A and B are shown apart, each in its own frame.
Chain A
Amino acid sequence: MPDIRDDEITKGAANNPDPNYWRSFEELHRDQSFINEINKEFKEGASESPDISGISAFSRRKFLALLGASAAFAGTACTNYRDKGEIIPYNKKPAEITIGKANYYASTCNGCSFACGVLIKTREGRPVKIDGNPDHPVSQGKICAQGQASIMGLYDPDRLKSPKSNNNNRFVDISWHDADAEIINELNNVGSKEIALITGNIVSPAENKLIHDFINKYPAAKVYSFEQFNESVRNNAWKKCYGTGEFPLIKWNQAEVVVSLDSDFLGMGANKIENTRLFAERRDVINKKFNRLYVVESNLSLTGMNADYRLKLRPDAQYAFVMAILNELRKRNAIDVSRDTGNFSLENFAGEYNLSKKDLNYLMDDLMNNRGRAIVYAGDQLPVNVHIAVNALNEYLGNSKLYNPDAEKINILPLSTYDELKNLAEKMKAGQVGMVIHYDANPVYNFPVNFNYEELLNNVDIIVSLTQVENESSINGNYILPVHHYLESWGDAKTRNGFYSLRQPVISPLYDTRQKEAILLNWINGEPSSFKETVYHEYLMDYWKTEVYPGLNSKLSFKTLWYGALHDGVVLKNEKVSLSFTFNSSVLADLPSSAINISGFAVHIKESYALKDGRYANNGWLQELPHPVSKVTWDNYAAVSSTTAKKLGLETNDLVEIKISDNSLTIPVLVQPGAADNSITIETGYGRTKAGTVGERVGFNANKLSNISTGLSPWLFTSAEVNKVPGNYKLVLAQTFYDFTQSLKQDLPKKRGIIKEGTVAEYLSNPGFMIHEEEKSKELPSVNPPFPYNKLKWGMSIDLNKCLSCGDCVVACLVENNIPVVGKDQVNVGREMHWLRIDRYYSGTMEDPAVSNQPMLCQQCDQAPCENVCPVLATTHSPDGLNQMIYNRCVGTRYCSNNCPYKVRRFNFFNFRDDFRDGYQESPVFALLQNPEVTVRSRGVMEKCTFCIQRIAEAKADAVREGKELKGSDVTTACKDACSTNAIKFGDINNKEEEFYKYRNHELGYYVLEELNIKPNVTYIAKLRNTHSEEA
């Protein structure tokens, strides 16, 4: 650009008649430096040579090298993402498998001595769900929470994988051959010493024969069969009263009045499935049949929560109570008793123990007016005198009509008495026991503490433990031999007259384990190398061919019958019994004529609702299942009444030391509404020192107090000392989160109509008493336009009269829907992942509460408030009425959960599978537990009940394939399948022919928070308490 001379600019400006336009001050004022600048061709720095010293030492090459290395690091970091391997179709597909379709196998559970029939669902060869076998005559298609959760035991990463032997206090792997050879050698050289075979309850006839074959082979062997919680006291009393046999089964469905004395017959015990089904038949709002339940107990139990009348009484006073009732009936000339029944007075008793005289009068009237149709039932843990007195009471009232004469409990191998076990302990002390075999038993944990069993094991030469997971008994031993899970095992069971049930393995053993019966057989054969995997299968078939088949009088060949039996799971046998019950009234003469001297505290040790006697301690689902009454998870506690707590200066979470003779236990306290004063109830099954990753060091070992020489019964102790000790222990409850001291939140369930209740008298006199016409006709506002569901629309009803809040449905849902265990810390902050919870509400006073339970799950609202607020449309509504969840759209705003009035949405705050117990649930074997039909959710995703949409989808596909129309009755949800009382109904709300329709449109049906007009699809049938009409 040519130089522009200054004078030319001035001349140009002077000659320019137009106004002076300038773009900068420099131009206006003719700044010299600016003029110099515009005269240059290039800007400063544009044409000079670069200054190398100023350039960064970070070269382009280095930059690219660093970039490559960073990318490599990032790629490496991402390799932690678990490679799930390749999915390839079968090269040689097994004939039984259709990819994507489940197979079902009938078998028998071995969780307890009830031996329920089960139906095991398998996918691609692995079991994923356990439900009841509908053909089993006793369980009839239902199974308890433990049975449902037992599938976790198959895939437990803590399972022993190979045999071990103790080498200088270290367990090392040993081959089966070597272990068998050494043990057989020891068995042959035991000399004059005893071989003690300690086992649980044997319900298998074939196994019983095997044990006797073992004893024949090794005459020094003696079998000791032990269950910590058993009916020995009840049966002992029965023998004294009736001379022979065992306590019979009860026809609960024919009882108008049931009086339960510290008996949790609806919540515990081996007969629970049958008891609940029969009892619930008399809680029928359709046929209007109602029984009346009186419960007299020391601590609020599941049965007590469902009582129409409840009285609290310490357990060591039950004998005096029963005798007082007997005497009162005599006084009213209701019964004729020729023997002396002491000077017990009901009136004095009521005054002494502060019992409601009105309720006691009702009780007396009901017993007198329902002779032959009432039953008084004492708990297993009460002393023998209580049982004798109760047997007498039932006999005099004619209630023996409710004893079932057609069904006999079969006891394949009677449990050893406590005297026999004491004898064993003495022999061990004297060094007379050469070998102890823990035959899938854990006596170190379960035996009474006064046996000092663990110490006595030091006097035994050889200890062999046959177990699935290491336990307190196995770690003291010489050999630990891993056994199959029951899903990998053959077996049979006979618990009642009239049928046998069979167990078949649905999966080949996952590890180098053996069936415990096969191990014994190998020892009987005496030749370690002769073992083959099918040895017990052949033994079982032989047994059936020679012992069982002839008695069946079947026209079929044995093979055909055998395969049919495996297919069905049960074989019926024409084995009619007709039991007779002849009472021996002279037994009353042996009863004490006055009450025992009661002092101090009564301590009642019960088995845990979830963990039983501790055998399920390593099952995370069961540990996390809220206690049905207290809603405590992951711990046990000492339940005390509020009065007792005040007296001792205790609050929940305080620690107490309980002393019974020389035994003591420090345990946290829970102030339990409805507990009897001066009575402490503790559930055992906790405090295990060797149970696996999940179960160790959880809770407190209540077995430390189980000294049978000091108790009224092995589980009931009196004159205990209780003292507060310094310290605190946080008990985690799955409920009671909100601050109920605020007036707005008090009595919320009643004010908001969450719980609606009435009485039977009210209902029978006015069936529509709950319907408020003015409310029904009121048009409620809504932001959503209505959608006409003219075709199939899914709905559920829950009958609160039948729901006992046992939690079996909760566990079934956990198994079906791959719900992770989150751990105690996360439950503490309200992050448990249960899609279905059971809300428990108290009403009345702290000392005498009434309890209302309500299962709560996603209500699948037609106008769901959660759907409107999702910013990414991760939750939508289906044409058949389901509130759907699309996991991979969810970004985790949690707005839907915020908006849900029922608070049923669960958010994955962590990847709980990775978070809990250091990735315990991420173990490769644990992955086999997952149901492939349900997405496994990860962190940051919301989830909730889906009404088992996977089952709905499968039924839809089946209907399309078969060219049929899908009906509501074609689908059952997991919770409905599990409910032993059939409280849950599921189906099509538009199909008038379905049974569900009656419940959906029942006059007692209501919706929770109906006034919000979000149109929930879960109908609750209001609970009716069967109180006397004067109280209606």
Chain B
Amino acid sequence: MNRKKFFSSFGIGLTGLMLFKALPFKFFKKKVSDKKIYVKINPLAIRRQKIGGKNA
């Protein structure tokens, strides 16, 4: 295969790959917020030592 053919095949393949990642599944999939959620303890909350009645 000559160099031109190689790079053109590679380019087509790469384009196909990008399209595959975008279409068809993800295009129709409901967009989910990508915002990262951070879990942070509230530092002012008081933890309970025991969980039974009257702290037993």
Contact = CB atoms under 8 A, between A and B. Distances in A.
Interface of A: 61-62, 65, 69, 72-73, 76-77, 79-80, 94, 96-97, 103-106, 119, 122, 124-126, 134-135, 140-141, 157, 161, 488, 504-508, 510, 534, 537, 563, 566-569, 918-919, 922-925, 928
28 contacts: A65-B1, A65-B9, A73-B17, A76-B20, A77-B20, A103-B48, A104-B51, A105-B45, A105-B47, A119-B51, A122-B41, A125-B40, A161-B33, A161-B35, A507-B39, A507-B41, A507-B42, A508-B39, A508-B42, A510-B38, A534-B44, A563-B46, A567-B49, A918-B30, A919-B29, A923-B33, A925-B37, A928-B37
B51 A566 contact: no
Nearest to A96: B47
Contacts of A62: 1
Contacts of A537: 44
Contacts, number: 98
Top 6 nearest A-B pairs (CB, nearest first) are: A134-B53, A508-B40, A566-B46, A125-B41, A505-B42, A104-B48
Contacts of A566: 45-46
B11 interface: no
Given A125-B40, A134-B53, A508-B41, A72 B17 contact: yes
A96 B29 CA distance: 40
Nearest to B21: A76
Given A62-B1, A924-B32, 10 more contacts: A72-B13, A105-B48, A119-B48, A125-B39, A125-B40, A126-B39, A506-B41, A508-B41, A566-B46, A925-B37
Interface in B1-56: 1, 9, 13, 17, 20-21, 25, 29-30, 32-33, 35-42, 44-49, 51-55
A106 B42 contact: no
A105 B46 contact: yes
A919 B46 contact: no
A161 B33 CA distance: 10
A508 B44 CA distance: 10
B48 A141 contact: no
Nearest to A140: B53
Contacts of B44: 504-505, 534, 537
A576 B34 CA distance: 54
A788 B12 CA distance: 69
Given A73-B17, A105-B45, A567-B48, A919 B30 contact: yes
Contact of A510 (B37, B45, B46, B55): B37
B37 A924 contact: yes
Contacts of B21: 76, 79
A874 B47 CA distance: 39
A505 B47 CA distance: 11
B32 A134 contact: no
Nearest to B16: A73
A569 B51 CA distance: 11
| Interface of chain B: mostly helix, strand, loop or mixed | loop
Contacts of A104: 47-48, 51
Nearest to B14: A72
Contacts of A157: 32-33
Contact of A918 (B1, B29, B51): B29
A120 to B, nearest CB: 9
Given A504-B42, A510-B37, A73 B20 contact: yes
Contacts of B1: 61-62, 65
Nearest to B30: A918
A134 B52 contact: yes
A104 B47 CA distance: 6
A73 B21 CA distance: 10
A929 to B, nearest CB: 12
A97 B43 CA distance: 12
Of B41, B44, B51, the most chain A CB neighbours within 10 A belong to: B41
B42 A928 contact: no
B41 A567 contact: no
A132 to B, nearest CB: 10
Contact of A506 (B20, B29, B42): B42
Given A69-B13, A76-B17, A505 B45 contact: yes
A928 B39 contact: yes
A94 to B, nearest CB: 6
Contacts of B13: 69, 72
B33 to A, nearest CB: 7
Contacts of B17: 72-73, 76
Contacts of B30: 918-919
A119 B9 CA distance: 62
B28 to A, nearest CB: 9
A61 B25 CA distance: 32
Given A124-B39, A504-B46, A566-B46, A919 B32 contact: yes
Nearest to B9: A65
B38 to A, nearest CB: 8
A96 B40 CA distance: 12
A77 B49 CA distance: 48
A894 B47 CA distance: 44
A485 to B, nearest CB: 12
A840 B30 CA distance: 39
Given A65-B9, A73-B17, A919-B30, A141 B37 contact: no
A126 B38 CA distance: 10
B48 A504 contact: no
Contacts of A65: 1, 9
Given A65-B9, A76-B20, A161-B35, A97 B41 contact: yes
Contacts of B46: 105, 504, 563, 566-567
Contacts of A569: 48
Contacts of A567: 46-49
Contacts of A69: 13
Contacts of B37: 510, 924-925, 928
Contacts of A161: 33, 35
A504 B52 CA distance: 19
A924 B34 CA distance: 8
Contacts of A80: 25
Contacts of A134: 51-54
B9 to A, nearest CB: 7
Contacts of A919: 29-30, 32
A566 B45 CA distance: 8
B53 A506 contact: no
Given A73-B20, A76-B17, A157-B33, A568 B41 contact: no
A359 B15 CA distance: 81
B8 to A, nearest CB: 13
Contacts of A126: 39
B3 to A, nearest CB: 13
A490 to B, nearest CB: 8
B32 to A, nearest CB: 5
B45 A141 contact: no
Contacts of A918: 29-30
Contacts of B45: 105, 504-506, 566
A124 B41 CA distance: 8
Nearest to B53: A134
Nearest to A488: B42
Q: Which of B17, B20, B35 has the most CB of A within 10 A?
A: B35
**Residue among A97, A104, A124, A508 with most chain B CB within 10 A:** A508
Contacts of A105: 45-48
A182 B55 CA distance: 48
B37 to A, nearest CB: 5
A500 to B, nearest CB: 15
Contacts of B25: 80
A510 B17 CA distance: 35
Contacts of B53: 134-135, 140-141
Contacts of B35: 161
Contacts of A73: 17, 20
Nearest to B49: A567
A74 to B, nearest CB: 11
A541 to B, nearest CB: 10
Contact of B32 (A76, A141, A488, A923): A923
